[in-house]
Amino acid sequence: MPDLKPVQDLKPVIAVILGDPAGIGPELIAKLFNEADIFEGVHTVLLGDRWLWQEGQRVAGIDHQLPEISEFSQARQYSGPVFLPMDTVDQDAIHYAQETAAGGASVLALLTRCMDAALANDIDAICFAPLNKFSMKKGGLQYEDELHFFADHLKVTDYFCEFNTLGHLWTARISSHIPLKEAATYITEARIIAASRLMYDSLKLAGNPNPRIVVAAFNPHGGEGGTCGREEIEVITPAVKACQALGYPIQGPLPADTLFIKARDGEFDAVVTMYHDQGQIAIKLLGFMEGVTVQGGLPIPITTPAHGTAFDIAGQGKANVGPTRNAFLIACRMGHNLRQQRIQHT
Amino acid sequence: MSKLKIDRPLLITPGEPAGIGPELTLQLMQHWGQQPLPDPGLGQSLPEVNELRLAAVADPDMLAERAATLGIAVRINVVPTPDAVPPAQAGVLNVLPVPLSAPAQVGQLNPDNADSVLSALGQATDWCRNGQAAALITGPMHKGVINEAGIPFTGHTEFLQARCGVERVVMMLATEGLSVALVTTHLPLAQVAEAITPERISQVTRILVHDLQTCFGCSEPRILVCGLNPHAGEGGHLGHEEIDTIIPTLDQLRDEGLNLIGPLPADTLFTPHWLNQGDCVLAMYHDQGLPVLKFKGFGHAANITLGLPIIRTSVDHGTALDLAGQGIADPGSLHTALGYAVAMQHEPSLHTKQA
């Protein structure tokens, strides 16, 4: 008789959240759950208020009866998606297109439950529908954004940052919501190395075996040999070389005005940009609203569509599910690979 | 729509003789007339290509040799003065001669020729200033080699500014459907914020509006102005230059009757919703405005200097020494620059107004 080893469940558990209750999130998630085939290979747990899930389905014209569970740890007993109901907000407190403390607090409670599940290794990825920053701030968010909330709750001490992804192309930025005149002070070797490595590792986790990553220059024409700024010579080039010495095939720095043409044409999988507008202008040109935001550097991948709560069309059932589907699929891919890594390490 | 008539010649300076400028100029004449001039859509009917008079200001021997080397079937026709330049025809390049000091070798920079390259530019500029020529279209120069020759040179734009004696000029890049002017140009990014002063914004905006009116036939230009900071400062949370400098300056300019929209967050400004509401974008710094333009019009964009007493357009690329001599460089930008130089002759009487 051969030894019988316990069968390891290779499938990841993906937590899904409805997003801000006053926006298009609930209807998007209802549409997502109506998609065929995408739930094979993963355990999906939808977390939220029962009434809001029903409302989302009503708006989307969909009626799904999901089996209910009471703990994330039960998800592995089901092959298809399941619902984990929570009671976080009264229906009376929520109105479409209104930022409310109640809505924000509800979202924070759901996210906190997910973080705890992540810390307990009960889930392998999270995908959430759009949140509303103002609702969350009213509802008690103490951080500048949800990424910092995640990072603190998940006890992250290493570098973390947000990736904007659009089709094959991912971007990260060394500095983000700061005055432009301070951007130069953020250009450090340590940040560039950390962001480039994190990008590389994250793309691998997302299933890209050979990520081609380029670092953008900071100054016009890449500093023109030092005559138009010295950050390229003094910081960025040494950082790229340090990455290469560590075995990360990072390229650059390349001047920003032609870099995104090359990226669009498929020469690179990812661009590490130096400041907010350098990346955001390009990615919005390419069709940002179709994109997905990936929170990088956390213990588990967290994804969300790049667009917002779209209060102007909330409750009308016409929101496009495409970016939400992409966000879910990236969470599934990254969660799957993370799950394999975790099993190999145990 | 009135049809433009241009009686004076257009002058091309091919620029660095070791680079791609000479072959692009030759290619332009090799294929002359096979396609119409690119029309930037400034609202007037462009002349037929065979009605234009066109000449290069350069060393005729260098051009003849380059044509022979590359097998470009273009004959060099030396003409003594702009007045003598005949109408353009395929297979002939008219040249107003400015000899080089040393033989030019493809891909090999030679400081000995720096003086001659600058003389050609200066001569062509002067012919435009004194009314003997209609416009200057410049090919790429190499800053490094000119400086190596001991001649301080920071770029075409600065050279022309000094030659024409004007205090401020504005760099604008244009391609079909999008024009972007810059408040600051080749400045280290760390120095941009302090360069965004009320004086600079006012001067640049006034020059931009004026030249859009006189050269582009845009009677009431609507300018989309970028903020400096992410999200245009988000009410002061992400930087104060919008509140302290940009908004008050724009308000003052609006009082003078200028139609200005913004400051807008740059990442939303460059989307169709906003672009459809303006005639030109004013960006605060180089990499805020130019990536979008190159993205939309790569190979078909022109660099235009506003605020000069002459019409000057340029290619938007460099000398490409590594490509030179192979005949594979794309003449699209030179063609576009020529198209703009022609279309900008909107009210020829106004062009020498400041001279």
pLDDT tens, position by position, B111-120: 999 999 999 9
Contact A296, A162 (CB under 8 A): yes
C-alpha to C-alpha distance for A97 and A312, rounded to whole angstroms = 7
Residue among B241, B287, B288, B293 with most chain A CBs within 10 A, to mutate? B287
C-alpha to C-alpha distance for B172 and B106, rounded to whole angstroms = 30
* CA distance, residue A195 to nearest chain B CA (Å): 20
* CA distance, residue B141 to nearest chain A CA (Å): 14
A275 vs B contacts (CB less than 8 Å) = 189, 230
Contact B325, B23 (CB under 8 A): yes
Chain B, nearest residue to A184 by Cα: B190
Residues B217-227 pLDDT 10s: 888 999 999 99
CA distances from residue A167 to A118, A282, A284, B7 in whole angstroms, order as listed: 27, 14, 13, 52
Please give the pLDDT value at position A4: 52
Same domain, A152 and A33: yes
User: What average pLDDT does the segment A9-13 reach?
Assistant: 93
Contact A47, A84 (CB under 8 A): yes
Chain B, nearest residue to A187 by Cα: B190
User: What average pLDDT does the segment B30-52 reach?
Assistant: 82
Q: Does the pLDDT value for residue B349 go beyond 50?
A: no
Same domain, A176 and A256: yes
Chain B, nearest residue to A282 by Cα: B292
Q: Does the pLDDT value for residue A1 go beyond 80?
A: no
Confidence of residue A282 (pLDDT cuts 50, 70, 90): confident
Please give the pLDDT value at position B175: 92
Contact A179 B267 (CB under 8 A): no
Residues ≥6 apart with Cβ < 8 Å to A11: A41, A42, A43, A76, A336, A339
Q: Which of B239, B286, B291 is opposite residue A281, by nearest beta carbon? A: B291
Q: Does the pLDDT value for residue A233 go beyond 90?
A: yes
CB atoms under 10 Å from CB of B339, counted, come to 24
C-alpha to C-alpha distance for A272 and A200, rounded to whole angstroms = 10
C-alpha to C-alpha distance for A112 and A122, rounded to whole angstroms = 14
Please give the pLDDT value at position B217: 84
Spatial strand order of the sheet with B75-78 comes to B75-78, B92-97, B54-58, B10-13, B135-138, B312-315, B302-306, B170-175, B178-182, B280-283, B222-226, B259-264
Please provide the average confidence, as pLDDT, over all residues in chain A. 94
Contact A231 B186 (CB under 8 A): no
Chain A, nearest residue to B241 by Cα: A179
Q: What are phi and psi of B176, to 5 degrees?
A: -60, 120
From A280, A295, A310, the end of a domain falls on A295
Q: Which of B230, B287, B294 is opposite residue A220, by nearest beta carbon? A: B287
C-alpha to C-alpha distance for B166 and B159, rounded to whole angstroms = 11
C-alpha to C-alpha distance for A96 and A285, rounded to whole angstroms = 30
CATH number of the structural domain spanning residue A260: 3.40.718.10
Please give the pLDDT value at position A8: 79
Strands B178-182 and A270-273: unpaired
Same domain, A219 and A267: yes
Same domain, A178 and A79: no
* CA distance, residue B249 to nearest chain A CA (Å): 19
Q: Which of B187, B267, B295 is opposite residue A260, by nearest beta carbon? A: B295
Q: Does the pLDDT value for residue A344 go beyond 90?
A: no
3-state secondary structure chain B: CCECCCCCCEEEECCCCCCCHHHHHHHHHHCCCCCCCCCCCCCCECCCHHHCEEEEEECHHHHHHHHHHHCCCCEEEECCCHHHCCECCCCEEEEEECCCCCCCECCECCHHHHHHHHHHHHHHHHHHHCCCCCEEEECCCCHHHHHHCCCCCCCHHHHHHHHHCCCCCEEEEEECCEEEEECCCCCCHHHHHHHCCHHHHHHHHHHHHHHHHHCCCCCCCEEEEECCCHHHHHHHCCCCHHHHHHHHHHHHHHHCCCEEEEEECHHHHCCHHHHCCCCEEEECCHHHHHHHHHHHHCCCCEEEEECCCCCEEEECCCCCCCCCCCCCCCCHHHHHHHHHHHHCCCCHHHCCCCC
Same domain, A203 and A232: yes
Task: Please tell me which residue, A344 or A233, carries the higher pLDDT value.
Answer: A233
Same domain, A258 and A340: no
Residues B59-95 pLDDT 10s: 999 999 999 999 999 999 999 999 999 999 999 999 9
Please give the pLDDT value at position B288: 95
Same domain, A121 and A224: no
Contact B231 A177 (CB under 8 A): yes
* CA distance, residue B241 to nearest chain A CA (Å): 9
Same domain, A184 and A142: no
User: What average pLDDT does the segment B247-251 reach?
Assistant: 98
Q: Which of B239, B271, B287 is opposite residue A256, by nearest beta carbon? A: B287
Q: Which of A178, A228, A261 is opposite residue B238, by nearest beta carbon? A: A178
Q: Does the pLDDT value for residue A21 go beyond 70?
A: yes
A256 vs B contacts (CB less than 8 Å) = 287, 291
A226 vs B contacts (CB less than 8 Å) = none
C-alpha to C-alpha distance for A207 and B150, rounded to whole angstroms = 55
Residues ≥6 apart with Cβ < 8 Å to B30: B72, B73, B74, B90, B91
Q: Which of A229, A258, A260 is opposite residue B189, by nearest beta carbon? A: A229
Same domain, A55 and A172: no
Q: What are phi and psi of A65, to 5 degrees?
A: -100, 100
Same domain, A316 and A219: no
Please give the pLDDT value at position B350: 43
Give B99's Cβ-side CA count (13 Å radius).
5
* CA distance, residue A283 to nearest chain B CA (Å): 9
Chain A, nearest residue to B275 by Cα: A285
User: What average pLDDT does the segment B305-332 reach?
Assistant: 94
Please give the pLDDT value at position B3: 65
Same domain, A8 and A130: yes
User: What average pLDDT does the segment A233-255 reach?
Assistant: 97
Residue with tokens 């939220």: A48
B267 vs A contacts (CB less than 8 Å) = 276-277, 280-281, 284
Residues ≥6 apart with Cβ < 8 Å to B222: B259, B260, B261, B277, B278, B279, B280
Contact A282 B238 (CB under 8 A): no
Q: What are phi and psi of B343, to 5 degrees?
A: -65, -25
Confidence of residue B154 (pLDDT cuts 50, 70, 90): confident
Residue among B173, B189, B270, B273 with most chain A CBs within 10 A, to mutate? B189
Contact A341, A307 (CB under 8 A): no
Please give the pLDDT value at position A285: 84
Please give the pLDDT value at position A68: 97
Task: Copy the structure tokens of residue A90.
Answer: 């009264």
C-alpha to C-alpha distance for B156 and B163, rounded to whole angstroms = 10
Residues A69-81 pLDDT 10s: 999 999 999 989 9
Chain A, nearest residue to B195 by Cα: A181
Task: Copy the structure tokens of residue A138.
Answer: 């009213």
Confidence of residue B355 (pLDDT cuts 50, 70, 90): very low
Q: Which of A179, A228, A285 is opposite residue B238, by nearest beta carbon? A: A179
* CA distance, residue A97 to nearest chain B CA (Å): 21
Residue among A166, A169, A181, A274 with most chain B CBs within 10 A, to mutate? A181
Confidence of residue B96 (pLDDT cuts 50, 70, 90): very high
Contact A181 B230 (CB under 8 A): no
A281 vs B contacts (CB less than 8 Å) = 266-267, 270, 288, 291-292
Residues A172-228 pLDDT 10s: 999 988 999 999 999 999 999 999 999 999 999 999 999 999 999 999 999 988 889
Residues ≥6 apart with Cβ < 8 Å to B168: B161, B200, B203, B204, B207, B307
Contact B189 A261 (CB under 8 A): no
Same domain, A16 and A128: yes
* CA distance, residue B270 to nearest chain A CA (Å): 7
Contact A220 B185 (CB under 8 A): yes
The structural domain count of chain A equals 2
Chain A, nearest residue to B265 by Cα: A277
Please give the pLDDT value at position B174: 94
Residues ≥6 apart with Cβ < 8 Å to A79: A43
**What is the extent of the structural domain holding A9?**
1-156+298-346
